[in-house]
Structure 1
Amino acid sequence: MTMSTASSSQSRKAKHCSELLGTGPSIDELVPALSLLGERLARILPAHLSPFAGGEPPLVRIGMPMDCNLASINADIETLASHTLMAVGPKGLPMLAIFEAPSVLRLIDRAFGGRGVEPEQIPDSFPLSAELLLGRLEQALAEALTTTFGGKEEHKVRAMRRDTSLRYLDPFDKREDLLQISLEVEEPGVEPWSFSIAFPQPTLAAATAVPRHPVRRKARQGTPDPAAEPYGSMPVPVTAVLVDMTVAFSRLSSLKPGDVLPVAIARSVPLQIDGRTVATGTIGEVEDRVAVQIQQAF
């Protein structure tokens, strides 16, 4: 038997995706990118949610990015929830939207003329009216995310399928590292409702085009120097958001001394000026005082 080998000029170089080689942005690098994306989404989403709020754009608040995986998401959900697998762009990069039953059922109650009150007993499955509402919510979120990502065809977000079981939905590997943000929708006179979105690292990196080594451009001639007067001594309030949590109004109304509220500290703490994230860092200690070490600034 004769064997032959191809010459080096005919051989092809192996191509490896950046995710397998570990050359994509890390979770820590993606946190500030998700913070900025969340702020843009908070400005774009209200117009898409106005049909669910009596025609008036509601106020949308974005929580801190939290690292998680499918197992931790499942463990944090105490009641019935709908999970929607969504895809970004022609490559179908996956992401996950989570709508918990209390919020969905409050919206259903309002749609039928109620005051947005959830039932005392959460059902084991969603009624048909809730399934129809979830479809409308998914479409509104997909349109808002498409605009947030850039609005072009390669940024288009679409809902693929939904299930109340993460196991059966199987959106991505259960051990995959994710970044999750919660969105709270506030309207005058009614209890806020919320949902959340979870992104795998490759999806978020592609959607936000995170640079690995950003280059700071030199200031143009004549640009005011922020370190010079009169700017240098101007006090600017900076807020470090250690914990951002959503608590049901019924839980708040029943709080009493001695109660314990479990909280999760984010991997990266955002520093904000007037609600806009300007940097992220990690919590530490300097001379017996709590301190934040800056990891990313933009």
Structure 2
Amino acid sequence: MASSPPSPKARHSAELLGKVPQLTDLVPALSLIAERLSRTLSAALAHLSGGDAPLVRVGMPMDGTLGSLQSELDGPAAHTMLVLGPAALPLLATFEAGSVLRIVDRAFGGRGDMPETIPETLPLSALLLLERIEAALATALGLAFGGHDDLRVRPVRRDTSLRQLDPFPASAELLSLSLDIEDPGFAPWSLQLAFPVTTLAAATAAPRPVPPRPRRARPGPTGEPFASILIEVTAVLVDMPIAMSRLSALRPGDVLPVAVARSVPLQVDGQTIATGTVGELDDRVAVQIGHAF
């Protein structure tokens, strides 16, 4: 039986996919994220060490590729791939071995000095400390991106070889940030972050506006269910003080002289809602409203 020809690959129009932002379009957004990261990472590292918050300086965004990042390294380094949100958008953190060993020296009571010889493989103490720093960095990045559940960052794997780690295509356009962490009295250390253009574009895309829910008009006193409610209204014709002794001595046939005020209050549950004058309408006593509250 003859085999059917392979189906053509799906192609999507630019209108459906949207325009891919250029590096220059994403630099302002990454600069804003960098400003937030300098604060969130400082707090995360202070919580990690239990001491004062260090000073985190973030450099200007720089463009490049994985190859250019590798060429800028002075020696051995640990590379950590992190992912952003449910779509697992990749980003990269690079820790030079010298910086990690400075932190280990501090953890054991030193001033954060770098050893004379940098080993090709980090010791277990350095790897355990690096794991905690990765978690703090992931928390700080998530907050810098906005702190939403769909923008959480988590580390997924680490390697000393960028080729083995393979976080994203080698030709992918990147924007990178260099971070210097300084604690008073200790030697500073640094790390570098790299963001593919696709990751930044998805993370910084403006959220779609949520259409406001139509507000239901609140019913007024002329509409249901209030319009048909019966309310007892009292017209106070006479309001006079009388002594208790006089009141207790009242008998049938006694006459009390009263003066009806020209302004008669209308009350609902003891509260005056209007005033008017007593008159007559169609042979019935009526009150003409003069003032309503």
Shorter-chain TM-score bucket reads: 0.5 to 0.7
- Unaligned regions of 5+ residues in structure 2, if any? 2-9, 208-293
Aligned to 2:136: 140
**Residues 191-206 of structure 1: matches in 2 within 5 Å?**
191-206=187-202
Kept in 1: contact 2:106–2:112 (CA 8 A): yes
Deviations 1:122-166 (A, max 9, x none): 001100011101110110010111111121211010101000000
Cα distance in 1 for partners of 2:14, 2:152 equals 22
Paired residue for 1:102, among 80, 98, 120?
98
**Residues 65-84 of structure 1: matches in 2 within 5 Å?**
65-84=61-80
TM-score by length of 2: 0.64
Change (3 A) 1:182 1:210: farther
Paired residue for 2:19, among 15, 18, 23?
23
Aligned to 1:62: 58
Aligned to 1:61, the other structure's residue is in SS state strand
**Residues 248-287 of structure 1: matches in 2 within 5 Å?**
none
Aligned to 2:91, the other structure's residue is in SS state strand
Shift of 1:109: 0.4
Q: Between 99-108 and 201-210, report the one with greater CA deviation.
A: 201-210
Count of aligned pairs: 199
**Residue identity opposite 1:169 in structure 2:** L
Cα distance in 2 for partners of 1:65, 1:166 equals 21
Change (3 A) 1:66 1:18: farther
Aligned to 1:260: none
Kept in 2: contact 1:88–1:155 (CA 8 A): yes
Cα distance in 1 for partners of 2:52, 2:44 equals 10
Shift of 1:19: 11
Instruction: Name which one, 1 or 2, has greater alpha-carbon Rg.
Output: 2
- Unaligned regions of 5+ residues in structure 1, if any? 2-13, 212-298
Shift of 1:120: 0.2
Kept in 1: contact 2:48–2:136 (CA 8 A): no
Higher RCO (Cα < 8 Å, 6 or more apart): 1
Aligned to 1:168: 164
Deviations 1:2-52 (A, max 9, x none): xxxxxxxxxxxx663869967121101001111111001111111100145
Aligned to 1:195, the other structure's residue is in SS state strand
Paired residue for 2:205, among 203, 206, 209?
209
**Residues 144-163 of structure 1: matches in 2 within 5 Å?**
144-163=140-159
Aligned to 2:4: none
Aligned to 1:147, the other structure's residue is in SS state helix
Change (3 A) 1:17 1:112: farther
In the alignment, does 2:169 pair up with 1:189? Answer: no
TM-score by length of 1: 0.63
Cα distance in 2 for partners of 1:66, 1:149 equals 18
Cα distance in 2 for partners of 1:19, 1:112 equals 57
Paired residue for 2:42, among 46, 53, 59?
46
Aligned to 2:51, the other structure's residue is in SS state coil
Change (3 A) 1:192 1:52: farther
Aligned to 1:223: none
**Residue identity opposite 2:157 in structure 1:** R
Kept in 2: contact 1:85–1:159 (CA 8 A): yes
Cα distance in 2 for partners of 1:92, 1:153 equals 13
Percent identity, aligned pairs only, is 57
Shift of 1:210: 5.9
Change (3 A) 1:19 1:71: farther
Deviations 1:59-83 (A, max 9, x none): 1111010001000001111111000
Deviations 1:83-135 (A, max 9, x none): 00100000000000001111100000010111111100000110001110111
Aligned to 2:121: 125
Kept in 2: contact 1:18–1:24 (CA 8 A): no
Change (3 A) 1:17 1:154: farther
Cα distance in 2 for partners of 1:152, 1:121 equals 43
Superposed CA RMSD in Å reads 2.2
